[in-house]
Chain A
Amino acid sequence: MAKDTANELRIVGTRPDRPDGLDKVTGRARYGADISAAGLLHGAVVRSPHAHARIVKIDASKALALSGVKAVVTRADFPTGLTGEAWDLQENTMAGERALYDGHAVAAVAATSAQLARDAAKLIEVEYEILPHVTDVDAAMAPDAPIIREGAADHSVPEGLHPNVVRYIEFGHGDLEAGFAQADIVREHQYKTEAAHQGYIEPHACMGQMGADGKGEMWVCTQGHWFIRKMCTQVLGLDASQLRVTPSEIGGGFGGKTTIFMEPLSLALSRKAGGRPVKIVMSRSEVLRATGPTASASMDVKIGMTKDGKITAGSATFRMQGGAFAGAPVDMALYCAFAAYKVPALQHVGYDVLANRPKAAAYRAPGSPMAAFAVESLVDEMCTELGLDPLEVRVKNAAQSHETSSFGPKFGVIGLNETLAATQAHPNLSVPLGPNQGRGIASGFWFNHGGDTSVSMALGEDGTVTVSIGTPDIGGSRASMAMMAAETLQIPYDNVRVNIVETGALGVNEPTHGSRATFATGKATVEAAQSMIVEMCKRAAAKWGIEPEAVEWRDGAAHPAGPNAGEYPPMTIGEIGAAMSNTGGPIAGHHESVPAGVGESFGTHVVDVEVDPETGRTTILRYLVVQDAGRAIHPAYVEGQYQGGAVQGIGWALNEEYVYDDMGRLQNPVFLDYRVPVASDLPMIDTVIVEVPNPGHPYGVRGVGETGIAPPLPAVANAVAAATGVRMRHLPITPSKLLSAIKASKNG
């Protein structure tokens, strides 16, 4: 179904200005915190200063005595009896009997100004009984670890494990022992990564309004407003359709804005304050302490390899903590671990473990970066030991189209071979390296995703077109939807306006996550355009008095399909729009589905670093991202995804980590200490867009957002090893850690 040659395309593959560009460079675009309303109240949240504590008593009387304080809510204001994920969400929104991590919400207050709300929050007295806590994943599995929640494990967990192990997963194929026996060398190491935060620059913000009738409105920065609707109404025990959610512009999400945190609190406060709207804007430290970082991981990997670089067998045992709730992406990590390889025998084992940390949220390719760090580091170590070219080893073992993947299902058409070939051909690989410099290579993988999708499209009286979609635009997706609509309708790009509409205006949409927006919303947009074309051809057929099948659509107009259809001048989309009231009424197209035909995306990164032997500081000299996009609708925004993903991965590899003290309190809840990469840390990020079209999408789109964060973790570690001879198996590679490791290797 995918168009084979880019030649037939007029708009797809070009780089027009994004439709929301003007609003976003002039400050006019309205993000989560940029809203106001008559009678507005401001909310503030009281958070636990303890990692684990029983809540003995909450006394809000002093706060409520302040003039201007309108409502206080605690868990007592929420319905009881929820189970499963809904209970988890409710418990995370507002602690019940116990605070489960530093930053866990225990009460919230609404007042007439933000200052007053913060003052009032300080006056809410909470009495705690401090309980033993644990924040490290391996420590949380140890026999003497404090139990975070009895009975949280599901049936997958074998008997005899600590109650903090709440999910267990095991799968594989082939004869592992025979595989290792065929290898010339078998190596096994432990690797660790720390929790990193998505780090979107816009803190969470919402404004909720709800009356005594249970009907509500919400304005919120989110990746998915139907998720917000579903989760808020579940937590508050309301009907989904009674809450209307309008998405603001969103200042970054990376997976972290696909769930709820304080959003239900604004509704609960509003209901208690007589239906006045309540706005809650998180501070940066609230974002870091209480919203989803990703999991931290402790991973054992074992690989067997022949002297000529054939991988004969592999095993991976991953332990991940995702905070005080089930949901660390250990399953995804294991699926991704060996995805780039064809290995005769594999075994995967995973543990999802509770710890006294915030509930992990998705972060760009959840699980894949950790897995890539472990597996791609070990493959590199073995290539070095055997004197093999790491790229050739990847070519030799590369997963292939239509063959069974490492995690079970068969791949569709994949572009791993092409990606590796493009990497081998890139000039960055032949740049000579100086002293203390090293080059690292690694690959990464993401599945991509379909998900519930609903799009509608309407023809205007002048022949221009409005497209209504349900996936918020985080990185230029309005542009790509407009391009695909214009391409399909064969009209100018500027004649299409794409709006992201509220929950009342479309069927359910999953969020902009899973790299799905351009694939799924794009596919639905094309389908909606096709259905509108069918209707427009019908109108022309009726006018001409011929069968609709005898009409074809091209160049933005209906034409008789051939000489047999009769001779009529083409009827343009503008003429059809102008006449529609008299030819049957409004013309619209729509499409609802869970789009099938998702295309996986592989990428390979090459990084050159220099390590300062005096300080241990690693400088990125050169960086190359090569990734299969299927087809790039708007190449500039595809490059942007590659570059942004790579830099987030570099941050995770070199700087970023959650640091807890021995009381389980987060020590670095500000950007000064939770240090994300800044402009002066980086060079330009070179990109190559490989295009092996996905046959499951009308223009060949795969989805590009996530794969790019996986390879940097191992690529940077591999480059550091090449530069120093020291193998860092625990991220981040901070200057002090690397310096000690270099010193230790010299003394050893």
Chain B
Amino acid sequence: MSKIHITTKVNGEEVEFLADPRDTLLDCLRDQLELTGTKEGCSTGDCGACSVTVDGTLVCSCLMLGVEAQDKQIETIEGMAEDGELHPLQRKFIEHAALQCGFCTPGILVAAKALLAKNPDPNETEVRYWLAGNLCRCTGYDKIIRAVMDAAAEMRGAA
């Protein structure tokens, strides 16, 4: 099958790649653009390890085709720290020991950032339901939820 030329923006930078029509956006990010921070845990939309935002909307990049990425604004974990400065969520995850193996972490950080963009002051239940599509097998979620709530508080200037 012939490949399709795609031009799009990832983390603010213009990129181009050749996508097999069957390649997912996740495949293209990882294999064509060497952005391996976005993880594959299931490829069926069930684990959230592949979470990215496309034009501001949180998506499972394993459920979107690479060829659908033409002329989008894609944000991945690699773009979360700005100019070497960690995002508050990233800092709070380290501080709260909210990761063990760290494999779910990129997806959860991207998803949590999308939550805080929508709702800067979520309660615990709202955080739990928003992150229900992001599986973590190591932590039991406790420290993840605390880290997100703490980062939200800091970002609101409440901490």
Identity of the chain A residue whose Cβ is nearest the Cβ of B109 in the assembled complex: A25
**Residues of B contacting A640 in the complex (Cβ-Cβ under 8 angstroms):** 97, 100, 138-140, 143
Hey, which chain A residues are within 8 Å of B146, CB to CB? Answer: 684
Residues from chain B with Cβ under 8 Å of A201 in the complex: 39, 41, 47, 49, 101, 103-104, 135-137
Across the interface, do B103 and A252 meet the contact criterion of CB distance under 8 Å?
yes
Complex CA–CA separation, A22 to B34 (angstroms): 19
Known: A22-B94, A670-B46, A680-B128. A202 touches B142 (CB 8 A): no
The answer to whether A475 and B138 touch (CB under 8 A), given A18-B97, A31-B103, A284-B41, is yes
Q: A685 and B105: CB pair below 8 A?
A: no
Contacts of B69 in A (CB 8 A): none
Q: How large is the interface on B (under 10, 10 to 19, 20 to 34, 35 or more residues)?
A: 35 or more
Distance between A249 CB and nearest chain B CB, rounded to angstroms? 7
Say yes or no for A679: interface residue by CB 8 A criterion.
Answer: yes
**Which residues of the other chain, A, contact B134 by a CB distance below 8 angstroms?**
678-679
Which listed residue, A24, A199, A672, A684, touches B105 by the CB 8 Å rule?
A: A24
A20, CB-defined interface residue at 8 Å:
yes
Contact B42 A252 (CB under 8 A): no
Complex Cα distance A281/B30, Å? Answer: 13
Interface residues in A, total, Cβ within 8 A:
61
State whether A202 touches B41 (Cβ < 8 A).
yes
Instruction: Indicate if A652 sits at the interface (CB-CB under 8 A).
Output: no
Cβ-based interface call for A643 (8 A): yes
User: Which residue of B has the minimal Cβ distance to A254?
Assistant: B137
Residues of B with C-beta under 8 A to A378: none
Chain B residues positioned under 8 Å from A474 (CB to CB):
100-101, 138
Which residue of A has the minimal Cβ distance to B35?
A27
> Is residue A647 contacting chain B, with contact meaning CB distance below 8 A?
yes
Q: Are B145 and A670 in contact (CB under 8 A)?
A: no
A158 within 8 A of B: no
Q: Is the CB of A682 within 8 A of B23?
A: no
Which chain B residues border A29 with CB–CB below 8 Å?
102
User: 8 Å CB contacts to B: which residues of A2-39?
Assistant: 15, 17-18, 20-22, 24-31, 33-34, 36
Q: How far does the alpha carbon of A476 sit from the alpha carbon of B96 in the complex, in Å?
A: 12
Of the candidates A15, A202, A677, the one whose C-beta lies within 8 Å of that of B101 is A202
A195 at the binding interface (Cβ < 8 Å): no
> B44–A251 contact, CB under 8 A?
no
Cβ-defined contact, A27 with B76, below 8 A: yes
Output the least CB separation between B110 and chain A (Å).
9
Are B44 and A643 in contact, with the CB atoms below 8 A?
Answer: no
A678 to B46, CA, bound (A): 11
Complex interface: chain B residues within 8 A of A34 (CB): 30, 36
A670 to B45, CA, bound (A): 10
**B152 interface residue per 8 A CB criterion:** no
Inter-chain contacts of A200 with B (CB < 8 A): 101, 103, 137
Q: Report the Cα distance A610→B125, complex, angstroms.
A: 17
Closest residue of B by beta carbon distance from A17: B94
State whether the Cβ of A644 lies closer than 8 Å to any Cβ in chain B: yes
In the complex, whether A568 has a CB less than 8 A from a CB of chain B is no
Interface residues of B in 70-98 (CB under 8 A from A): 76-78, 80-81, 86, 90, 93-97
In the complex with contacts A21-B99, A636-B143, A676-B137, A115-B22 CB distance below 8 A: yes
Shortest Cβ distance from residue A475 to the other chain B in the assembled complex, whole angstroms: 4
Shortest Cβ distance from residue B106 to the other chain A in the assembled complex, whole angstroms = 5
Is A667 an interface residue, CB under 8 A from the partner? Answer: no
Q: Name the A residues within 8 Å of B35 (CB-CB).
A: 27
Residue of A nearest to B125 (CB): A680
CB contacts (< 8 Å) of A682 on chain B: these are 128, 140-142
> Which residues of B105-159 are within 8 A (CB) of A?
105-106, 109, 124-125, 127-129, 131-146
Report which residue of A25, A29, A34, A676 has the largest number of chain B beta carbons within 10 angstroms of its beta carbon: A25
Q: How far is the CA of A22 from the CA of B85 in the complex (A)?
A: 11
- List the A side residues contacting B36 at CB < 8 Å: 27, 30-31, 33-34
> Which one, A21, A22, A33, A249, contacts B40 given CB within 8 A?
A33
Q: Is the CB of A644 within 8 A of B102?
A: no
B43 proximity list for chain A (CB < 8 A): 283-284
A678 with B23: in contact, given A27-B76, A640-B139, A644-B138 (CB under 8 Å)? no
Q: Identify the closest chain B residue to A200 (Cβ).
A: B137
Name the residue of chain B whose CB is nearest to the CB of A15. B97
Task: Identify the closest chain A residue to B80 (Cβ).
Answer: A26
User: Which residues does chain B contribute within 8 Å of A18, judged by CB atoms?
Assistant: 94, 97
Minimal beta-carbon separation of B132 from chain A (angstroms): 4
Question: For residue B34, which residues in chain A have a CB less than 8 angstroms away from its CB?
Answer: 36
A671 within 8 A of B: yes
Give chain A nearest CB distance to B111 CB in angstroms: 10
Interface: A208 (CB within 8 A): no
Instruction: Say whether B99 contacts A644, CB under 8 Å.
Output: no
Question: With a CB–CB cut-off of 8 A, which chain A residues contact B77?
Answer: 26-27
Residues of A within 8 A of B27 (CB): 114
Q: How far is the CA of A637 from the CA of B101 in the complex (A)?
A: 11
The 7 closest A-B pairs by CB, nearest first: A27-B37, A251-B103, A24-B102, A643-B140, A647-B140, A671-B46, A636-B97
Q: Which residues of B contact A (CB under 8 A)?
A: 20, 22-23, 27, 30-31, 34-44, 46-47, 49, 76-78, 80-81, 86, 90, 93-97, 99-106, 109, 124-125, 127-129, 131-146
5 pairs from A and B in contact (CB 8 Å cutoff) = A22-B94, A31-B36, A200-B137, A643-B142, A685-B142
Not counting A15-B97, A25-B99, A27-B80, a sample of 17 additional A-B residue pairs whose C-beta atoms are within 8 angstroms of each other reads A26-B86, A30-B36, A33-B30, A198-B137, A202-B103, A203-B40, A284-B44, A636-B97, A639-B97, A640-B100, A644-B100, A672-B44, A679-B131, A680-B125, A684-B142, A684-B146, A685-B140
